[in-house]
Amino acid sequence: MSADHRTHIKSSAWQTRWTDRFYRSRPGWRDGTTEFHGLCKDVAPRNAQILEVGAGPTNRTSAFLSTLGELDGIDISDEVKSNEHLRHSYIFDGGAFPIADASYDLVVSDYVVEHVARPISHLREIERVLRPGGCYAFRTPNRFHYVALAAKLTPFWVHSFVANRLRGLPVDAHEPYPTVFALNTPAAVRRQAGLAGLKVERLDLIEKEPSYGMFARPAFLAMMAYERAVNALDSLAFLRANLFVVLRKPSS
């Protein structure tokens, strides 16, 4: 569940210039992470008790969540112990979270759900540690987006070899975790959330700047053309890159 796989754009002259020209200069434009953080802020009560699932080491999302309330984190990797924004950190062994029932107002995960092989177990643990009326907010890839399809259709060693390079991660970053995409369509989210006793409050399909195209100009242009098309036509919304989801635990 480590958050190491989050996209870090390696800036160079053309990348910065093109991103400014085609995205940052557009009125009202926000990058995907900023937009996801806004969603989290919208559903966080004042002085919230927050759990970040897949918190990993110190990162941008943990830094933001820590401004909304008291933040704890859980991860399968002991890297979570080095996250400076966490009040408490927990290691997940694949079973139950080592956390008491009804402990949090908000649970957040950022690019974690795609690695979860047993989504119903995952969501039931989220439901258990949420307080009545609390929310689970997460961002995850859409299974029908070309990046997810490529990851699904290629052997893991290929994905591992190219993924970090395409996203501009440092050479010492460890390889990405295997993806299963078991909770990565709107239909899967609605079905599994219902089984776990959670209500779908928000489910948006989002396509942002072409982060995976930052390695070469032709790739950037091709992926930008894709972004423009899927954002212009509602009929193509199912092909957008990410799901932004809020699930709420009933108050009673």
Q: With 80 as the cut, is the pLDDT of residue 25 above it?
A: yes
Query: What is the predicted pLDDT for the residue at 156?
Result: 56
61 neighbors 85 (Cβ within 8 angstroms): no
Burial of residue 160 (number of CB atoms within 10 Å: 0-12, 13-18, 19+) = middle
Whether the pTM exceeds 0.75: the reply is yes
Comparing CA positions, the residue from 91, 99, 98 lying closest to residue 74 is 91
Domains of the chain in start order, with CATH, are 3-248 (3.40.50.150)
Instruction: Give tens-digit pLDDT for 89-143.
Output: 999 998 999 999 999 999 999 999 999 999 999 999 999 999 999 999 999 999 9
Rounded Cα gap, residues 38 and 20, in angstroms = 21
Q: In what order do the strands lie in the sheet with 130-141?
A: 89-91, 69-75, 48-53, 104-110, 130-141, 242-248, 199-206
Alpha helices by DSSP H, the chain: 13-19, 32-43, 60-65, 119-129, 146-153, 156-166, 186-195, 217-232
Q: Strand, helix or coil at 110?
A: strand
Q: With 50 as the cut, is the pLDDT of residue 3 above it?
A: no
Window from 19-23, 159-163, 191-195 with minimum mean pLDDT: 159-163
What mean pLDDT comes out for the span 209-226? 93
Query: What is the predicted pLDDT for the residue at 61?
Result: 97
Query: What is the predicted pLDDT for the residue at 228?
Result: 97
